Every structure is written in C-alpha cells, then in structure tokens.
Amino acid sequence: MELSAKQLAQVLRGTVEGDADAVVTSFAKIEHGKPGQLCFYANPKYEQYVYTCRASVLLVNKDFVPKEPVTATLVRVENAYSALAELLKYVASQRKRYRCHRGWGCVRFLSTRLGRKVYLGAHSYVGRHSVVGDRTKIYENVYIGENVKVGKDCIFYPGVVIYANSVIGDNVILHANCVIGSDGFGNAPQPDGTWEKIEHLGNVIIGNNVEIGACTTVDRAEMESTIIHDGVKIDNLCQIAHNVEIGENTVMAAETGIAGSTKIGKNCIFAGQVGIVGHLKIADNTTIAAKSGLIGHVRKSGQVLFGTPAIPIKNYMRSYALFKQAGSEEK
C-alpha cells in the first residue's frame, strides 16, 4: 500500500491540512506512529499522542481543534473511526487478485456449477449439485456438501465445513474451522434411560454481508431453517443452535451460546460469554453485557441487560450495591 494524503482525502471524502503529498505505506496506533505510517485520532483519551505522534498522516474528525502544534499532515473526515474502517476495507479490496485457480487435489463434479474467477484451494471439496458464485474464494481443505448454494464474493478460510443444503448469500466470510449446518443437539429420553437421536432434516440460511468467526458452529434446523439475516457479525467460538433466527445487523462476541428456537431481533449486541436459553424472543436493539444469562423473553426494545438471570442493568447495579453491603456486613 502506498497512498498520499491527497489520495486518502479523495477515498474518504475528506480534506487535507498540511502536506498533500505526504505518503504512507502502513498503519499504526497513534501512540506508535512513525514516518511513513498513518494513524487515527477519535477517542479524546488519546489526545496527548496527537502532539507527539511522528506519523506522516493523521485521520481526525472534521471538528477537531488542536491545542498544540501538530507535525503530521491531517486528513479531516466526518468520523475518523468510521473512516479508518472504510480505508482498511479499501486497502484490502485493492490487494485482492481475483483469478481462477484449481488447487492440487481439489474435488468437484460435473453437476457442480462454479461462477467466474472462483478460487479452489488444494484439497477443497465442492459437492454434487452445489452452486458457487463469482469471485468466491474457497481456501485449502474446505468441505462444501451437496446442494449447497453459495453467493458471490465470499471467502471461506481453511477448514470450513458446510453441510448439505445450506444457502449462503453474497459477501459472506467464514473463518477457519467454522461449521455450518451440523446436526442440532436434539435427543429424546427413552423409558430405559437412554437417549434417542432426533434427526435434523432442515438447513441453514445465511444472508448477505455476514461474517462468522473461527470455530463457530451454526446448527441446521430439525425442520425448516436456522436463519442468519443480512449484516450479522458473529465472533469466534460461538454456538448457534437449531432453529435459531438472528435478525439483521446483530453482533455477538466470543463464546456466546444461543439455545434452540430462539428468535433474536435486529441490531442487538451480545458481549462475550452471553448464554441464552431456548425458545425465547428478544426484541430489536437489545444489548446483553458479558457473562450474562438470559432466561426469559425480552419484549421491550432498546434495553441493556446484565447478570444471571439477566435484568435491566440499572436494576442490577442497585441489586449489586445491596449484595456488596451484605457481604461487607458478614465480614
């Protein structure tokens, strides 16, 4: 990557303050910035580094007013944090080189339909009657079962497993060892104390612009579909059980577990290690804090919940004050 401050301003629809010809070739945190690097300033806690940063270019908000001289060339944008995300995406897209590739030992069938410039890494497998869209990149040791539909511009990293009949939209990223469409955890108790496996005959449907982290599992439904809607972002090591539905643009951090048949609304945020029991309905714009356990429906949108069982965070903090007081009295 080599971009001038002028080019950066054009890409990010910003303005240059300083040397428009200043060139950057890499990124760095504002506290580590060196000549030839680009940094950004968005959090007021880091303002001290604005004046000591040696980076060639610094992304800042349009309304930022420096209190001391700044040596870096400033590129002013509406929102520096969002502009950085846009820039990283731009640089990544410039590095992509879409090309048709068939790695050694990859397997496909006459009934498999591959779009233009599909990349198949070594030892990858695409099953019968499956369809893969244009410019999708399937890395080494990826398994795609029969009757799978994959959209355009997807990236499946090594070790991804996609079971039969799954449907995956455009611009989907599946990280290493992610599993899509495995059986849900369904077993029926028998009179003799044993468990009889319940077969799962449904599938998984994943919308557009979804990203799913490494070693995350999305189970297929017993009947019908487990559904991940457009724009959902799921971190590493998460478990999405059978028949779950996750609404648009919901995000969840690592080690979150969603039990079967739960319906999650749009624009929700689940922090790390959240646990949700099955058959719940969770309203749009719900935020659940880390290590919380949800055992009941969330009917009111926009709430922030915390604790086990999870309750509105203000109620939890009042309760915690009493817990803390009771604990100190016992001592």
Quote the pLDDT of residue 91.
84
Quote the pLDDT of residue 98.
55
Three-class secondary structure of residue 21 per DSSP: coil
Residue-averaged pLDDT of the chain: 93
Q: Across residues 284-294, what is the average pLDDT? A: 97
Tens-digit pLDDT profile for residues 58-94: 999 999 999 999 999 999 999 999 999 999 888 877 7
Structure tokens at 265: 């609304």
104: confidence class by pLDDT, cuts 50, 70, 90: confident
The answer to whether 140 and 107 are in contact (CB under 8 A) is: no
What span, in angstroms and rounded, lies between the C-alpha atoms of 234 and 249?
10
Q: Which CATH superfamily is domain 163-315 in?
A: Hexapeptide repeat proteins (2.160.10.10)
Quote the pLDDT of residue 329.
64
Structure tokens at 227: 């559904």
φ and ψ at residue 23, rounded to 5 degrees: -110, 140
What span, in angstroms and rounded, lies between the C-alpha atoms of 60 and 81?
9
Q: Across residues 15-21, what is the average pLDDT? A: 95
Q: Across residues 9-36, what is the average pLDDT? A: 94
> Can you give the C-alpha Rg of the chain in angstroms?
24
Q: CATH code for 3-95?
A: 3.40.1390.10
Structure tokens at 83: 């502009």
Whether residue 322 is predicted with pLDDT greater than 90 in this model: the reply is no
Q: Across residues 212-231, what is the average pLDDT? A: 97
Three-class secondary structure of residue 230 per DSSP: coil
Q: Across residues 126-149, what is the average pLDDT? A: 96
Among 123, 175, 242, 279, the one annotated catalytic? 242
- Judge whether 242 counts as a catalytic residue: yes
Whether residue 100 is predicted with pLDDT greater than 80 in this model: the reply is no
Helix axis angle for 80-95 and 5-12, nearest 10°, is 100
Tens-digit pLDDT profile for residues 226-265: 999 999 999 999 999 999 999 999 999 999 999 999 999 9
What span, in angstroms and rounded, lies between the C-alpha atoms of 227 and 230?
10
DSSP code string of 138-187:
E-TT-EE-TT-EE-SS-EE-TT-EE-TT-EE-SS-EE-TT-EEEEPP--E
Whether residue 99 is predicted with pLDDT greater than 90 in this model: the reply is no
| More reliable by pLDDT, 94 or 107 | 107
Q: Across residues 267-290, what is the average pLDDT? A: 97
Strands 161-162 and 143-144 come out as: parallel
Whether residue 103 is predicted with pLDDT greater than 80 in this model: the reply is no
Quote the pLDDT of residue 1.
74
Write the CA distances from 8 to 3, 22, 47, 192, 329, integer angstroms: 7, 10, 22, 69, 60
- Give which of 188, 176, 223, 228 is closest to 202, Cα–Cα: 223
95: confidence class by pLDDT, cuts 50, 70, 90: low
Whether residue 41 is predicted with pLDDT greater than 60 in this model: the reply is yes
pTM of this structure: 0.83
Pick from 99-103, 134-138, 322-326: least confident: 99-103
Q: Across residues 205-224, what is the average pLDDT? A: 97
The answer to whether 253 and 216 are in contact (CB under 8 A) is: no
Only one residue has tokens 């369809």, namely 131
Q: Where are the domains of the chain?
A: 3-95, 163-315
